[in-house]
Structure formats: C-alpha cells, structure tokens
Amino acid sequence: MSEKPHERRGEDVGAERPVGIRPSTAYFPEVESLRGVAIALVLGVHLDYLLHDLIGGPRSEDVSLWYAFIREGATGVDLFFVLSGFLLSLPFFKEAAGGRPVSLSQYFRRRALRIYPAYSVAVVVGAVLSAGALSHLLRALPYLLFLNAFSWGVTRLDPYSNVWWSLATEVHFYLLLPLLPLCLRSRSGRYCGVVLLLAYAAAYTAFNVGTLRMPTFVGQRKLDQSLFGRAPLFLSGMFVAWVFNRSGERIRARLQANRFLCSGGADLMLAVVIVTLAFLLRWTAALGWLRQDLPPYHAWHVLEAICWASTLFLVLVAPFRLKRLICNPVLGWLGIISYSLYLIHYPVIVHVVYRLRFAEGFSYWGFGLPIVALTFGLTGVCLAASTLTYRFIERPFLARKARIS
C-alpha cells in the first residue's frame, strides 16, 4: 500500500501526530509549525508592549521591517483564524467532492472538547481572581457563553479577559461553518453561497467606507473583532482548503518538477510574501492601534489575509530548500501548546510587570541586561505553565476528541 501524501510530509519534517487528531484525519505538520509562529508573534507583541512600561520613554511608531512583526504581533491571532478556516473547512470540501460525510454532532463534540475545557478553566480562574464580591463571579457567565463579542452585559475581567475576544470569534465561525455543505451540494446552493458572499462583501465595504457604523467606539471595536470584521481571514483559509482539496497534489507535483523552484525559487517566493507582509505591518504600526482597525483602514486585514493564505499554501505545496526553518520540532511543539500559552501568557506577564512597575523605589530600567533577562524569564515561565496546563487540562480531553470517529 502506498503512503498517503500527508504521512510522507510528516516523515519529512520528523513530526509526530499530536494527541487529538484521529488516525483517519490528515495531519499537516506544516500547519502545526505555523501555529507555533502565530503564538510566538502574539507572545512577542505582549512582551514588547508590557515590558515597555519598565523601559520608559515614548514608543516610536517608526519601526524596522523585522521589528514590525513584534510591534504588530497581533497578526498572529489573524494567522490562527486563517489556519482555522483551512483545517475546519477541508473536511466539508472533501465531502462535497464525494468524500466521507461530516457528522455535525461529531463535529460540534470535537470542537467543544478542543477549546472549552481549557477556556472554561481560564474564565473561572480569571473571574475568581478579579472578583471583589461573591456576586462578581456572575461576570464569568457571558464569557462562558461566548457573548463577550457583544458589549452589553459584559464586564471586563482585566487582565484575564483581554485575549478572550478571539475565542468568541472562533466559536461563531464554528457555528456558521456547517452551512457550507448546503452551499456546495447543489447548483442552487452554490448560487445562494455566491449571493451570501456578495452580500457580505457589500456590508464589509459599507463598514470600511463609513456607511455602516456602530454608535460608539466600543461598538466599532467589537464589530472589528467579531466574525464580521475578521471574516476575510477565515475565508482566505477556506479558499486555500478549496484549492488544496481540488488540486493540491497536482500543484505540488508540478512545483517539485520545476528546477528553479527546487533550487531556491520556492524559498524566494515565500520571502517575497513575508517581506510584503512586513511592509504592511510597518504601515499599520505607523497608523497606531487606535486607527488601524477602524474604517477606512480596517481593510488592511484583507491584504493581511492574502499574505497569510499565500504563506500557508506555499508551505503546504512548495519544494523549499530551507523547509526546516519553517517546519521543525520547536515550532511544532509551540503549536501543540499554543492554545494553553495563548490563554496563560498575558495575565502572567501583566502581573509580573505591574508588580515591578509599582514596587517601592522603582526607577525606569531602560533597555539593557535586566530587561533581556526578564524577557527570557517571563517567556520561560509562560512556556512551563502552558506545558503543564496542556498536559493536565487540554490533553485528556484531546484524547477523548480523537476517539470520536
């Protein structure tokens, strides 16, 4: 029996199938490494932002191309959205092409086992630690129901809830994705799908030109962070899944037969995409966080989605000479613990930095050895804590998830 393509790729990079992925499901070690890249970007931006309180002085908006990935590391969250769009829509595209039907009950059970156990623990712990009275524990309820995407009835649980908005956006995508087969099974369904996409494109355009506006700044931010605002990222991942399912193996074979691409041309193509993204992130850094996600600048997420989707597709099919830099055990391990790390890192950094910032006799450190040591120390603490939460909270439920056939 010949090997499956995804199994060959796994052997090429020395990756093992993580807990939680069924034997019958294609495993892409490249995607796991890109998850590692995404969480590294998120960790970097929060370290940069919070440690600046200890350095002192104004934060320059004129950043270099490489530093743009740190200053604008929130793009890692958007990379997570692209990867979700790819991985979760792929089975539905396979079903539409005559493959195994997707059981919606199993789909929702797997999604719940993937994100809810660790998330619910994070919400409960955050509610307890931020509560000033017993009644304040009720503030956790909207978060547990993923209603924090809406401004009404939701109280911030700083610093714990600062990163939870993306989980609500993810869950809303999970709820809408099962509509995809309805748009793929028949010609009328495909027409309806096109109409829905055009309607969304019109609404998104109206949002970016200022015709569609929320009455408050908070409402505008909520709309930006919602599935409506970040749909281009999910859709770009879904487009990669559609192309990969239809022609992925054929495109890979053609690229691997191209002498120029095998001799470094593929690496050059990826470098062009990454440099393009760097220029885009440097531009958004110059705009500042208050403007970059509000109309008309919010449309930059469309260009960002194209860059990350291109990166994903190239990593999946192109014959890189330096693939070990892109897909390797270190990034793969970061990808495996990325969810726990995402939930834990921000409150850990905030508590440490603020204790130092308001300690008696504090004076600004400036950039030097203490800041470097603190950066590595905080990173180590976050990685160690995330490894433990992955092992004892995530992993048992992921093992159950893998048993759902």
**Per-residue model confidence as pLDDT tens digits over 107-139:** 999 999 999 999 999 999 999 999 989 999 999
Given pLDDT bands bounded at 50, 70 and 90, which one contains residue 245?
A: very high
CA angle 161–162–165, rounded 5-degree value: 80
Instruction: Give the per-residue pLDDT at 129.
Output: 95
* Structure tokens, 67: 């530093």
What average pLDDT does this structure show over 215-242?
93
Whether the ω angle into residue 370 lies within 30 degrees of 0, i.e. cis, is no
- 397 conformational bin, left if phi > 0, alpha if psi -120 to 50, beta if neither: alpha
Query: How confident is residue 293, by pLDDT bands cut at 50, 70 and 90?
Result: confident
Output the pTM of the full model.
0.94
In this prediction, residue 290 carries a pLDDT of 81
- Reduced to 3 states, what is the DSSP secondary structure of residue 102? coil
Long-range interactions of 219-222: CB distance < 8 A, separation 24+: 219/151, 220/294, 220/295, 221/293, 221/294, 222/149, 222/150, 222/151
58 pLDDT tier (thresholds 50, 70, 90): low
pLDDT of 199 higher than 90: yes
Number of domains forming the structure of the chain: 1
Q: Quick one: pLDDT band at residue 150, thresholds 50, 70, 90?
A: confident
> What does the pLDDT look like over 164-196, one tens digit per residue?
999 999 999 999 999 998 898 888 999 999 999
- So what's the pLDDT on residue 15? 52
Domain that holds residue 331: 5-402
Write down the pLDDT at residue 320: 92
Mean pLDDT, rounded, for 40-63: 87
**Under a CB-based contact definition with an 8 Å cutoff, are residues 167 and 115 in contact?**
yes
Please state the rounded mean pLDDT for residues 315-334: 92
62-79 pLDDT, tens digit per residue, is: 889 999 999 999 999 999
User: Residues 200, 270: contact at Cβ < 8 Å?
Assistant: no
pLDDT over threshold 90, residue 326? no
The one-letter code for the residue type at 105 is S
From CA 228, how far away is CA 32, in angstroms rounded?
A: 26
**Which pLDDT value is given to residue 54?**
87
Per-residue pLDDT at 24 exceeds 80: no
Distances in Å between the Cα of 97 and the Cα atoms of 46, 101, 245, 320, 378 are 42, 10, 9, 29, 47
Q: What are the DSSP calls for 322-341, one per residue?
A: SHHHHS-HHHHHHHHTHHHH
Determine the average pLDDT of the residues in 15-31. Answer: 81
State both tokens at 271: 């470098």
The answer on pLDDT for 219 being more than 90 is: no
